[in-house]
Amino acid sequence: MVVLSKEERALEVRNLSFSYPEGPPILDGLSFTIKKGETVIFLGPTGAGKSTLCLTLNGVLKASGEIRIFDELLNRKTAKKIRQRVGLVFQNPNDQLFLPTVKDELFFGPLNLGWSPEVIAQRMKSVIKKLNLEGFEERLINKLSLGEKKKVALASVLILEPDILILDEPAAGLDFGSKKNLMAYIKVLPLTKLIASHDLELAWELAEKVIILDKGKIISAGSREEILLNEKLLKAHCLDLPLSAKV
> Residue 44 interacts with ligand ADP (CB under 6 A)?
yes
> Residue 49 interacts with ligand ADP (CB under 6 A)?
yes
> Residue 151 interacts with ligand ADP (CB under 6 A)?
no
> Residue 50 interacts with ligand ADP (CB under 6 A)?
yes
Q: Which of Mg ion, ligand ADP, none does residue 98 bind to, with CB < 5 to 8 Å depending on kind?
A: none
> Residue 46 interacts with ligand ADP (CB under 6 A)?
yes
Confirm if 180 and 132 have CB atoms less than 8 A apart: no
> Residue 170 interacts with ligand ADP (CB under 6 A)?
no
Q: Quick one: the chain helix, strand, coil %, rounded to 5?
A: 40, 25, 35
Q: How far is the CB of 58 from Mg ion (least distance, A)?
A: 15
How far is C-alpha 238 from the chain's CA centre?
22
Q: How far is the CB of 168 from Mg ion (least distance, A)?
A: 6
As a whole number of angstroms, the distance between CA 38 and CA 15 comes to 21
What is the size of the binding site for ligand ADP (CB under 6 A)? 11
Q: Which of 51, 56, 192, 197 binds ligand ADP (CB under 6 A)?
A: 51
> Residue 26 interacts with ligand ADP (CB under 6 A)?
yes
| Of 160 and 195, CB closest to ligand ADP | 195
| Of 172 and 229, CB closest to Mg ion | 172
Give whole-number Cα distances, 231 to 22, 46, 91, 196, 200, in Å: 36, 18, 27, 20, 12
E-strand stretches of the chain: 9-19, 25-35, 39-43, 64-69, 72-73, 86-89, 164-168, 192-197, 209-214, 217-223
Q: How far is the CB of 143 from Mg ion (least distance, A)?
A: 26
Q: Which of Mg ion, ligand ADP, none does residue 48 bind to, with CB < 5 to 8 Å depending on kind?
A: ligand ADP
Give the CB-side neighbour count of residue 106, counting CA atoms within 13 A.
30
As a whole number of angstroms, the distance between CA 147 and CA 188 comes to 18
Interface contacts to ligand ADP, rule CB under 6 A: 20, 23, 26, 44, 46-52
